[in-house]
Amino acid sequence: MEDVGALQPTIFVSVPRLLNRVYDKITQGVDEAGGLKAKLFHMALAAKAQGLKSGNLTHALWDRIVFGPLKAKVGLGRVRMVVTGSAPIAAHVIEFLRCVFGVPVLEGYGQTESSTCISFTDPDDFSSGHVGPPLACNEVRLVDVSEMGYLTSDSVHGADVKSGNKGIPCLGRGEICFRGPNVFAGYYNMPEKTKSAIDEEGWCHTGDIGLWTLNGNLRIIDRKKNIFKLSQGEYVAAEKIENVMSRSSFVAMSFVYGDSLQSKLVAIVVPDQEYMEGWATKNGFSAKSFTELCNDPGIVKTVLDDMTKQGKLAKLKGFEFPKAIYLESDPFSPENGLLTPTFKLKRQGARDKYRTNIDTLYTALGGMKAKL
């Protein structure tokens, strides 16, 4: 964020992890200010949110007295557009950023294996929760993933007769596949891996699960790759859960783990140091270092409880909640071998590094050692 303040960008291309921090810093600052300032902020936010529904990004009064100074304070006073990609971002965060910055906040979807995007949100579409329609350079289709219950014949999902919930209407669900000139030629000197990614008809299989909305937008709802089966036979998509857990203000990064010998999930969590130290100061833990905070059982429970809260808000299933966590004070990074150069988690590396911690977590839960 210091770089943002120095550069004063007009087009800000970022990732959800950083945009979530912007969201957290603003909301935490409002909560700390309290009183009249907080009341004015929430009045302004409500007015701007209402304006989005009729296609208005700006407000003559609130942008001048509330959001203009706020934008300048975070280094985005000159911004004309915000673009996000690389991972899913929560719909409420996108709406919040549109209100605060008064500019289009767009989301792109693609892969390292594609030339730029596969789909991109329309600058004039202020709805959220999707990644827009396909780009003109490629075709996109969905393919059945029957083992996870996603079918292209689905017209509604999440239906619950007992609660009267009719689910979200859609035009099919399944694995997202795309083809066109933006598809990569293949993995260098890896013919078998290339064959598993690109089928005989030229469709690249992304490993992401999506659905078509009724107006033709693509919505990412799950992940096929990096799934594993728990001992009770339930399939779990780790990345989906990690994205939900990242909504906790305490969580900067996480690695969710489970295997076929276990009925529960555990997680290695890197806390947001700035937020956790601020929380600790307010709650009587200020004398401790960050490493000591990560090892404090009371704080571990607080972080796990907040992660559980986020899971409930996201309506995760019972087996998708991590039941025990280890707090790691050293962030995952390319330098320590836990992230790729594009900041994707290296699961094999994380699993090997935290083998002992994972065993300890499962032992505390009363289970056998993990099959690592």
Tens of pLDDT, residue by residue over 312-351, are 998 899 999 999 999 999 999 999 989 887 778 888 889 9
In this predicted structure, what is the pLDDT of residue 163?
36
Give the whole-angstrom CA distance, residue 172 versus residue 325: 36
Label residues 333-372 b or e (16+ Cβ within 10 Å = b): eeeeebbeeeeebbeebbbebbeebbbebbeeeebeebee
Q: Under a CB-based contact definition with an 8 Å cutoff, are residues 227 and 221 in contact?
A: no
* Per-domain boundaries in the chain: 2-103, 137-223, 227-364
User: Which residue, chain included where needed, has tokens 């915000």?
Assistant: 82
Give the whole-angstrom CA distance, residue 158 versus residue 35: 40
In this predicted structure, what is the pLDDT of residue 132?
94
Q: Which residues pair with 139 in a beta bridge?
A: 179
Instruction: State CA 258 to chain mean position distance.
Output: 20
Q: Residues in the chain, how many?
A: 372
Tokens at 68, concatenated = 């203009």
Spell out the per-residue pLDDT of the chain, length 372, in tens.
Answer: 788 889 999 999 988 878 888 888 888 888 888 889 999 999 999 999 999 988 899 999 999 999 999 898 888 999 999 999 877 788 889 999 999 999 999 999 998 888 879 999 999 898 888 999 999 999 999 999 887 788 898 887 654 433 333 456 888 999 999 999 999 999 999 999 999 899 999 999 998 889 999 889 999 888 777 778 788 878 888 888 998 998 898 999 999 998 778 889 999 999 999 899 989 988 888 778 999 999 999 999 999 999 999 999 988 999 999 999 999 999 999 999 898 877 788 888 899 999 999 999 999 987 555 454
The yes or no reply on domain 227-364 and CATH 2.60.120.10 is no
In this predicted structure, what is the pLDDT of residue 158?
52
In this predicted structure, what is the pLDDT of residue 201?
94
User: What is the SS3 string spanning the chain?
Assistant: CHHHHHHCCCEEEECHHHHHHHHHHHHHHHHHHCHHHHHHHHHHHHHHHHHHHCCCCCCCCHHHHHHHHHHHHCCCCCCCEEEECCCCCCHHHHHHHHHHHCCCEEEEEECCCECCEEEECCCCCCCCCCCCCECCCCEEEEECEHHHCECCCCCEECCECCCCECCEECCCEEEEEEECCCECCCCCCCHHHHHHHECCCCCEEEEEEEEECCCCCEEEEEECCCEEECCCCCEEEHHHHHHHHCCCCCEEEEEEECCCCCCCEEEEEEECHHHHHHHHHHCCCCCCCHHHHHCCHHHHHHHHHHHHHHHHHCCCCHHHCEEEEEECCCCCCCCCCCECCCCCECHHHHHHHCHHHHHHHHHHCCCCCCCC
Report which of 21, 10, 14 is spatially closest to residue 76, judged by C-alpha positions.
Answer: 10
Tokens at 157, concatenated = 């999902």
Tokens at 250, concatenated = 């305490």
Report which of 29, 15, 109 is spatially closest to residue 66, judged by C-alpha positions.
Answer: 29
In this predicted structure, what is the pLDDT of residue 197?
92
Give the whole-angstrom CA distance, residue 62 versus residue 47: 8
Instruction: State CA 71 to chain mean position distance.
Output: 23
In this predicted structure, what is the pLDDT of residue 159?
45
Give the whole-angstrom CA distance, residue 86 versus residue 17: 10
Report which of 360, 268, 258 is spatially closest to residue 317, judged by C-alpha positions.
Answer: 258
CATH pick for 137-223 out of 3.30.460.10, 3.40.109.10, 2.30.38.10, 3.20.20.140: 2.30.38.10
Q: Which amino acid, one-letter code, is at 260? A: S
